[in-house]
Amino acid sequence: MAARRIKPSLYISVDIEADGPIPGPYSMISLGAAVAGRQDAEGYTAADPEQDTFYRELRPISEEFVPEALAVSGLDRDRLRTEGADPAAAMREFSAWVREVSAGSGAGAGAQPVMCGYPASYDWTFLYWYLIRFTGESPFGHSGCLDMKTLYATKAALPLRAVAKGTMPRHLLSRRRHTHHALDDAIEQAELMSNLMAWPGMPS
């Protein structure tokens, strides 16, 4: 019987900034993404995280917000109301970009896209909700998500709740600053993803 062909994965680091804890009552106000690398049967190949990127600032979808959450991003809701991208248009553009980098001739080349984040849970919650709400579908499917925090915990043989970036070996971390600008942080986390994929883990 012929061996089952394994499709490669294209890991796309995504970071979002939001003005509250959950989507719907609160808004995703910026979205950044950067291609981290490609994995196939031969292994993982890191990409230049500045090569293929996406960034949008979005118009809020409600009047509710948590001041402390908004302050993290440094974005101005009044400006976003007039200058922010329409959420439906932004999510269509993002989906098209994901499909383009995954199917194109660059790092993706026919790969299946996988969103990755640190931690992924918050960013994925907003991203998936916005994709379904405004486009009706997700280029990542319903489960194409990888949490870098879990990846590190597994390789380091640590309980998940014991993991923080400050406890990681320094060589795994990006030298870039975590600025809370969605694209800056997506690029920084793309480098973390590639370092984690190359790392053999703690010796047993």
Active site residues: 180
Say how far apart CA 57 and CA 165 lie, in whole Å: 27
Q: Determine the 3-state secondary structure of 16 from DSSP.
A: strand
Which has the closest alpha carbon to 152: 98, 116, 99, 105?
116
Which phi and psi angles does 200 have, rounded to 5°?
-75, -15
Write out the H or E segment, with its range, that includes residue 148. Answer: helix 148-156
53 touches 101 (CB < 8 A):
no
- Phi, then psi, of 172 in degrees rounded to 5: -85, -25
Element (H, E) at 10: strand 9-18
Count of other CB atoms within 10 angstroms of residue 14? 27
Q: Note whether 196 and 148 are within 8 A (CB).
A: yes
- Amino acid (1-letter code) at residue 166: G
| Element housing 14 (H / E) | strand 9-18
